Amino acid sequence: MKSRPHVAVVGATGAVGIEMLRTLEKRQFPVGELTLLASARSLGRTLKFQGRDVPVRELKRDAFAGIDLALFSAGGSISREFAPLAARAGCVVVDNSSAFRMDDAVPLVVPEINGNDVASHRGIIANPNCTTAITLMALYPLHAAFRVTRIFASSYQAVSGTGAKAIAELERQVRQLVAGQPAASEVYPHQIAFNVLPHIDRFLPNGYTREEMKMENEGRKIMHHPTFRASVTCVRVPVYRAHSVAVSAEFERPVTVDAARAVLAQAPGLEILDNPEKNEYPLPLHVAEKDNCQVGRLRKDCALDNGLCFWVAGDQLLKGAALNAVQIAERLLP
């Protein structure tokens, strides 16, 4: 790839697309030329990048001529249609959807964990599920030291993971309920304000949702750990931004809290915030808009052999999406 590539952002006007632009700018990614692509509905809009207004163009099948790198965040159906076209045009695609994650020919990458897998790409590289990425930021360093066998986890996922309409729904419902009015639900099957929903994505025949199975399936691929097992319950909570996950992990080798803390203290992209006596632990409110994930509530698991419990939180629009994509792109630079 060129040292100053021509970069396209597909889905540029969406929440993750906006974060991709901010992250490219913040990390001083060497953008030689920038193309913003979105649906026809966004024609006429401009977005700021490095102090200038960049017009949004319509995403079409011939839109990738001359583009070196495309960051996709426009949904699985768009990725399935346009990412192969971009790759055939000589563009390297970093895709944020689930379309190619479990494709054996497509690397699924968290740079701090398996960044070297980028080198095996054939034109498309996949970004993992946001909850998986945030969880693995804390789990993988422990796996490398003690070898994880299985986890039991519950996620606490912000409404922004669903999109702008979900944020608006939470805001509207809060106003309605405070005013003594009934809360109307359109995005979610039930009221989300002052409530939690143990339901993210579509239910599968095994009783889990697709979101819940991603932790095991994607975790195996990212960690190169085909026997890894994960029993997960994914929960939507009335938080605007940043996901949190409670994890109970079992390891092959004995693990102590002190040994785990020493390992996590060296992990890139991760901060330890673990001082319960002073009420200091990771909070979605405080990790929102921050690049690093945070881990805390470290303690021995009293129900598992060689077990450890921890709580990890991270901004799913950043490490779970835009930041991870840009970090992958940085690996492609000469």
Mean pLDDT of 328-334: 97
For domain 6-128+321-332, give its CATH number from 1.10.579.10, 3.40.50.720, 2.30.300.10, 3.40.50.300.
3.40.50.720
Q: Which segment of 105-109, 125-129, 164-168, 261-265 scores lowest on mean pLDDT?
A: 164-168
Per-residue b or e along 143-175, where b marks 16 or more CB atoms closer than 10 Å to that residue's CB? bebbebbbbbbbbbbbbbbbeeebbebbeebee
Give 190-203 pLDDT, tens digit per residue: 999 999 999 999 99
Position 152 pLDDT exceeds 90: yes
Report the alpha-carbon distance of residue 227 to residue 234 in Å, rounded.
21
Report the alpha-carbon distance of residue 210 to residue 221 in Å, rounded.
16
Percent of the chain residues past pLDDT 70, beyond the cut: 100
Position 164 pLDDT exceeds 90: no
Report the alpha-carbon distance of residue 72 to residue 289 in Å, rounded.
20
Give 289-329 pLDDT, tens digit per residue: 999 999 999 999 999 999 999 999 999 999 999 999 999 99
Considering 130, 234, 293, 309, which one is annotated as catalytic? 130
User: What pLDDT is attached to residue 50?
Assistant: 95
In the residue annotation, 199 being an active-site residue is answered as no
User: What pLDDT is attached to residue 301?
Assistant: 98
Mean model confidence pLDDT for the chain: 97
Position 21 pLDDT exceeds 90: yes
DSSP 8-state class, residue 179: T
Considering 143, 243, 293, 309, which one is annotated as catalytic? 243
Mean pLDDT of 182-197: 97
Task: Locate CATH 3.40.50.720 in the chain.
Answer: 6-128+321-332
Residue 140 CB burial class (10 angstroms; 0-12, 13-18, ≥19): buried
Position 20 pLDDT exceeds 90: yes
Mean pLDDT of 207-233: 98
Position 163 pLDDT exceeds 90: no
Task: Locate CATH 3.30.360.10 in the chain.
Answer: 132-315
Position 13 pLDDT exceeds 90: yes
In the residue annotation, 91 being an active-site residue is answered as no
> According to CATH, what is the number of the domain 132-315?
3.30.360.10
